[in-house]
């Protein structure tokens, strides 16, 4: 290990934040803008001096028509209100809108699909000091916002890049992976008498990682599928759907599960079944080390949404990193302690987003976690 320098220069954190490649705003608790990344300013065609100290929702003026701006503002207001109330991150459903104002010489940027994430920054007193607001362009998500009552949800064509990516995983990458695993197995057998225990262990590590890579490929293909498959909506008894998902995932679970009454909804049966499978298997996994593991499923209709919750008394997580939970390949626990790839919850977020809904989570290290998803109430009409 290289020796540490006696004095480490203090980073210029404002410069680092403003130079970050993502599209970020820093908001005060009253939702005035306290900071912006250069990438955000470039994408929105705004000047930092013009927006600092301004109300966040002033940014919507002149960007979108009323049919786009009003639903996006309402969803954003609800998300920020929840962050301030719960002091927990909130990932919003994907919405379609333009991020920059039109110039006299053009029509501005065309509407695109964006996912917004709001993450609280807590002070020493545990209260929200700032909110980091991030927007991220999403490719290949077919659901755009929540449908109006009596109107079908608006869908767009899935990204061709996702289709090509899935094809490459399914076909082009599996052959060399099988070759690596096969030759490692062949070498282990042919040279068994010449290899010592450490040699055999290293070959075993190669084969074990081939197996992990194969499983990761399977999960990535499944993830790409849920972004491409056409939604087939029907009336769904959510309690029955949870029961079917638990029959699949709870076979080896030795704890208690409580399934309360759940509001019915409408949506794609297969995709929502996958949501419950992923959430229930996640809860079962993280309660595995508890002496008396317990999972509870509940739901309610509130504020125009059908909200569902899966709670457990398992390992929990640090709320400071909750914003990563639903991002692809992001994990908050060591893979040696809890297996997983970080795809399952990202899949949940994608499916719920396609239904016009949203996801969030709450937890505490060593005291369990609760995962939520909400679907617009009109989906159940």
Per-residue pLDDT of 76-120, as tens digits, reads: 888 898 888 888 888 776 666 666 554 444 444 455 667 788 888
Position 337 pLDDT exceeds 80: no
Among 145, 217, 210, residue whose Cα is nearest residue 184 = 210
Q: Binning pLDDT at 50, 70 and 90, where does residue 31 land?
A: very high
Position 13 pLDDT exceeds 70: yes
Q: Binning pLDDT at 50, 70 and 90, where does residue 26 land?
A: very high
Q: Kindly report the average pLDDT of the chain as a whole number.
A: 77
The whole-angstrom separation of Cα 176 and Cα 162 is 21
Cβ–Cβ contacts within 10 Å for residue 209, how many? Answer: 14
From residue 127, give the alpha-carbon distance in Å to each of 33, 85, 273, 293, 371. 18, 10, 37, 31, 22
This prediction's pTM: 0.52
Q: Is the dihedral of CA 34, 40, 44, 46 positive or negative?
A: positive
Residue 76's SS3 state is helix
Cβ–Cβ contacts within 10 Å for residue 264, how many? Answer: 16
From residue 157, give the alpha-carbon distance in Å to each of 108, 314, 347. 22, 39, 18
Q: What is the pLDDT of residue 233?
A: 86
From residue 281, give the alpha-carbon distance in Å to each of 201, 223, 258. 31, 16, 15
Residue 63's SS3 state is coil
Q: What is the pLDDT of residue 118?
A: 87
The whole-angstrom separation of Cα 55 and Cα 96 is 22
DSSP 55: B
The whole-angstrom separation of Cα 116 and Cα 24 is 10
The whole-angstrom separation of Cα 119 and Cα 92 is 11
Burial class, 100, CB count within 10 angstroms (exposed 0-12 / middle 13-18 / buried 19+): middle
Segment among 190-194, 227-231, 303-307 with least mean pLDDT:
227-231
pLDDT in tens, 132-190: 998 887 643 333 233 333 333 333 344 455 555 565 666 666 777 788 888 888 888 88
Beta bridge partners of 132: 26, 119
Residue 240's SS3 state is helix
Q: Is the dihedral of CA 323, 326, 328, 331 positive or negative?
A: positive
Residue pair 27/56 in contact (Cβ under 8 Å)? The answer is yes
Residue 50's SS3 state is helix
């Amino acid at each position: 290990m290289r020796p540490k320098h006696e004095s480490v220069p203090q980073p210029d954190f404002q410069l680092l934040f403003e130079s970050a490649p993502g599209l970020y705003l820093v908001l005060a608790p009253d939702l005035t803008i306290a900071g912006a990344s250069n990438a955000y300013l470039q994408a929105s065609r705004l000047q930092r001096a013009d927006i600092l100290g301004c109300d966040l929702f002033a940014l919507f003026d002149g960007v979108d028509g009323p049919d786009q701006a009003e639903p996006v503002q309402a969803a954003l207001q609800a998300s920020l209100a929840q962050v301030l109330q719960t002091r927990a991150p909130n990932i919003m459903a994907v919405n379609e809108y333009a991020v920059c104002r039109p110039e006299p010489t053009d029509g501005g940027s065309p509407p695109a699909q964006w996912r917004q994430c709001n993450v609280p920054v807590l002070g020493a007193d545990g209260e929200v000091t700032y909110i980091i607001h991030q927007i991220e362009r999403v490719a290949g998500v077919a659901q755009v916002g929540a449908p109006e009552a009596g109107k079908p949800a608006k869908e767009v064509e899935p990204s061709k890049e996702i289709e090509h990516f899935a094809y490459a995983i399914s076909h082009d990458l599996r052959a060399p992976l099988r070759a690596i695993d096969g030759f490692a197995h062949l070498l282990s057998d042919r040279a068994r008498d010449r290899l010592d225990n450490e040699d055999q262990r290293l070959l075993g590590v190669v084969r074990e990682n081939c197996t992990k890579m194969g499983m990761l490929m399977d999960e990535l293909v499944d993830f790409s599928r849920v972004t491409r498959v056409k939604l087939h909506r029907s009336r769904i008894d959510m309690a029955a759907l949870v029961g079917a998902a638990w029959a699949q995932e709870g076979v080896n679970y030795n704890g208690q599960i409580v399934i309360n009454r759940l509001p019915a909804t409408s949506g794609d049966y297969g995709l929502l079944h996958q949501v419950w499978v992923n959430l229930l298997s996640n809860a079962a996994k993280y309660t595995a080390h508890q002496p008396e593991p317990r999972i509870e499923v509940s739901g309610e209709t509130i504020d125009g949404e059908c909200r569902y919750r899966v709670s457990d008394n398992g390992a929990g997580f640090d709320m400071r990193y909750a914003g990563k939970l639903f991002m692809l390949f992001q994990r908050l626990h060591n893979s040696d302690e809890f297996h997983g790839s970080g795809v399952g919850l990202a899949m949940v977020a994608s499916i719920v987003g396609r239904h016009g809904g949203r996801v969030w989570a709450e937890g505490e290290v060593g005291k369990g976690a609760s995962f939520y998803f909400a679907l617009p109430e009109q989906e159940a009409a």
